[in-house]
Amino acid sequence: MDLTPARAALRNAEGFLARLQTDPRITSLDALQCVERTLNAAIISVRDQYNSSRPVNCLPPEILRYIFRQVLDPVKMGDGMFMWPSALRSTKGLQELSFVCHLWRQITLDDCFLWSHIHIGQLYGPTTDMFLQRSARVPLKVCSLAQGRRPFVETLSRVERTRIEELCISSPSNPHFYTSFAAPALRRLTLQSTVDADVPYLVELFRGAIPQLCAMSLHAAVWLPSNCFPRLTRLYLSSKLKPVAPHAHWTLSALSAFLSNCPVLEALIFGNINPTLAAGDEALPVVNLHRLRSLSINSSATAVIQWLLVHLLIPVDASIGFRPRREANDTVLDILLSLPRLKDMRTMHLRATVFDPDKIHIITSVSNSSSSTCLESTIQDYTKNVQDEESTSRVQTNPAAIGQFSGITHLHVADGGWVQKFVNFPALFMILPYLSFLEYEKGDNDLLPLLLKGLLPPDDHSVAAPIPCKSLTILKVSMGDISAMFESIVEFANNRHRIGYPLAKCIVLNPAIELDDMRILKQYVETVEVRFSCPLW
């Protein structure tokens, strides 16, 4: 590092201070400013040399340019706004990169890729000409989340529409205003439209000229596109933002026509769509999606889910996921039994997630043997609520329940103290005749006996009652440090052995018990397996 200029500047400053101390009258303001300029130049020289010697600045500009492209943050979507995986980045970090040093500033300003990501947030508005000029002819990725700020997008559509490769817009305006131009290079599109209207309508996006579009995320309740999308493989559709007018929501007839214009869809996600079913909707033609690999329906009414499953023709090996919207007073079993019949269901999971002391989510999922088809139901409720006893009696006598879940062989329960408050397990076990494997975790000594009691005939022997789950052969319990739970396991194994339906295998995780206690369990179970989980250090 060459410190000669810095030393010369220091000697000059020391001479000035000596003269100032001897006789202040012989010094002038010009002399002081000269010393100041000399010192500033020396400091800048030392800083530049110091920065250039740092390891990161010893890298070639090509490596630094690559690093800069990776450090830009992804664009943050608004609440509930979905975007398919994207390379779009926020440009807010460009200013910070350019202020580090002259080298970084030069690399930042010269890299057209960095300036091809144009992000207009609520409080951020880049200069249009600067971004367009520095991005040269690189394909553009544009995100405009500023409500009502359309001048930039309008300028972009007039001047650089052939360069737009990705576009993300959130606007309360009519979509005609920001899609009234041809976009031949557009591949990804995200639109959130909160426009008010009295009636639903169709929109031809980008004058019908978007031949390359392959991924679209549309959040709109009033309108749907009328385009044909020959290359669209990924579609997300949500109507969460409900229209103000009661009859302004797009119809299932319009949805059917829209999906018919997407013949090569491979992934389809419905997020909170709840159109009203009209009288003629059941007679609408079936939409053939022969390439679909994944279908997900979230937060929708069961009637809408049923309509979609009937009117969408998809491959038998496609992955299907359901998350029905809970209606008032619905319980876990009510929701499951109201859904369309699912084939080859083999596994059921019941678990609870506590968000605060008063509110919890009870999550029920059912899947087939390959997990390609999965139904997931979430109930958000308060801990003070319990399951309605009257609904459980309907479950026991409902013949549809037997056909719906008779094939379930594996049941996993993560209790945490809440699941049994929302699920009547005796009623559930009555519709699971082929259950062979039961796994229980995150419970306690008070809850486990209640669960196991549902797998035994009633104590009242005056009335002959069927034995629940005669095929049950494997019990797996995670005990933790609750040794008293082992007594419940032994008692249950004894009772199943006594009634002629013994367990073939019992798996106990992390048992805090003595070896003699394990011998007692082996009197009633053919195989006893003890497992210990390894702690993470």
- The full set of domain ranges for the chain reads 4-53
Higher-scoring residue by pLDDT: 202, 28: 202
pLDDT band at 490 (very low <50, low <70, confident <90, very high): very high
pLDDT band at 330 (very low <50, low <70, confident <90, very high): low
Give dist(CA 8, CA 46) in Å, integer. 13
- Summarised one tens digit per residue, pLDDT across range 210-233 is 999 999 999 988 899 999 999 999
Share of the chain above pLDDT 90, in %: 23
Q: Are 455 and 399 in contact (CB under 8 A)?
A: no
* pLDDT of amino acid 377: 67
Which of 107-111, 264-268, 300-304, 524-528 tops mean pLDDT?
Answer: 264-268
CA 127, 131, 136 angle in degrees (round to 5)?
A: 155
State yes or no: pLDDT of 300 exceeds 90: no
Which of 207-216, 446-455, 505-514 tops mean pLDDT?
Answer: 207-216
DSSP secondary structure letters along 506-534: EEEES----HHHHHHHHTT-SEEEEE-PP
Q: Are 447 and 417 in contact (CB under 8 A)?
A: yes
Alpha carbon separation from 41 to 5, 38, 44, 48 (Å, rounded): 9, 5, 5, 11
State yes or no: pLDDT of 391 exceeds 50: no
**Lowest-pLDDT choice from 184-198, 302-316, 369-383, 390-404:** 390-404
Q: Which helix or strand (DSSP H or E) is residue 357 part of?
A: none
Higher-scoring residue by pLDDT: 282, 300: 282
Q: Are 209 and 182 in contact (CB under 8 A)?
A: yes
State yes or no: pLDDT of 150 exceeds 70: no
